Structure 1
């Protein structure tokens, strides 16, 4: 039995040991977080869930190194972001405007359809998808679609979703913290971690955002490099196929 287990390192792992992924990983850019993740980074070809206490607590700063790496090869897709991308700030981050693909749909069903098409198309290096409510069946479809590509795929969901079942192999709960962000590992291919991991993020305010309802005074204005709320746009099926 031990010989069989050792021959399948990517599909079989013991609960007290860190697992691994078959697909490539991208370093997070945060060594302390890399040490807590299988293979030391964000897995591609998988659904990764970031469960937010509220939007605007530094989640995009957390993803910045991986987004920079992905944008060198292909575009970055932003699906259903809470605000319009602030192009000047993204450019300052080293993310060219022509490498960003912003998609806003009027219905959740169209957003889910768009996400699946982006994953299956393979023309983007990363997809960041904001979604408040999604059924388990839809999560499975998205995870399955991600497995057929090398794309980095993060789904931003409310922290309350941590109690729901999910096919995602990696789920992180994010909360605001002074000068950075607190991360709880809800799910990973490895031993359970009960301690909260604090990551210091450049440019984060000295005091944490504690309000339950986001306001301009409690959200880091540059964290996501997005400004005003995005208006409704045509359904995703009207987007030219070349974009997705």
Structure 2
């Protein structure tokens, strides 16, 4: 027994080597599923695997809707729309199909779902995630319970869908199963972004992301919100989703 004890150094006895699969909190983590580059090098450098992770719940916590969240996602959406549809669930404004086309996104890639009730919206989100017919889901929700977040996160796992949920900035104080949570604030020429949660060391300081301006589009309102958040074709009712989503 004494020979066995003497062969182990004190440092090894206190801090045994961890398997390579174990993530340390002071190191950048990684995701099992594929990631899609954000199109913003400064943001990619701060994210595990250098991009938006699929098969998980990603939370974008907004000071208010229309501050640049769609421009932030634009590069990833363009990459996805080349081959799969993008579902917009309960956006705060009607999607502007002219701006969608100006961004190089085919009109047939857009699926707008506007349910009447929050419970229908949550059900619709689960169907989109479990069905796998879309490449991305953007879900705007003001209030959602913790168990509903867990259900959505579990539904996203095992898929290859990029799933963003837009929630109020105040929700940053609440616990969430999401492995990636970003707080967005409006700023001149782009947005100020703070990483609330990631698989990696804590990053408390906000940093600025310059965002490309949206293309001009005709409008009959004086709203300052993004053109992507305006007019669109008729929405699909939650109880009458296309067969591909049921």
Question: Smaller-chain TM-score range?
Answer: 0.7 to 0.9
Is 1:157 matched with 2:167?
yes
CA contact (8 A) 1:80 1:130 kept: yes
SS in 2 for 1:120: helix
CA contact (8 A) 1:83 1:229 kept: no
* 1:195-215 deviation per Cα after TM superposition (whole angstroms, max 9, x unaligned): 1110001117xxxxxxxxxx9
Q: 1:2 to 1:79 in 2, by over 3 A?
A: farther
* 1:155-175 deviation per Cα after TM superposition (whole angstroms, max 9, x unaligned): 000000000000000000000
Alpha-carbon distance between aligned partners in 2 of 1:2 and 1:241, rounded to the nearest angstrom: 54
CA contact (8 A) 1:75 1:124 kept: yes
RMSD between aligned alpha carbons?
2.0
Unaligned runs of 5+ residues in structure 2 are 1-14, 215-220
Question: Which of 216, 222, 237 lines up with 2:239 in the alignment?
Answer: 237
TM-score normalised over the length of structure 1: 0.87
- Greater Cα radius of gyration, structure 1 or 2: 2
Q: 1:229 to 1:100 in 2, by over 3 A?
A: closer
Q: What is aligned with 1:210?
A: none
Residue correspondences, number: 226
* 1:9-32 deviation per Cα after TM superposition (whole angstroms, max 9, x unaligned): xxx311111000000000000000
Deviation at 1:88, TM superposition (A): 1.0
Q: 1:230 to 1:71 in 2, by over 3 A?
A: closer
Alpha-carbon distance between aligned partners in 2 of 1:178 and 1:232, rounded to the nearest angstrom: 33
TM-score normalised over the length of structure 2: 0.87
SS in 2 for 1:173: strand
CA contact (8 A) 2:190 2:210 kept: yes
CA contact (8 A) 1:125 1:152 kept: yes
Moved over 2 A (4+): 1-5, 219-222, 228-234
Alpha-carbon distance between aligned partners in 1 of 2:232 and 2:84, rounded to the nearest angstrom: 26
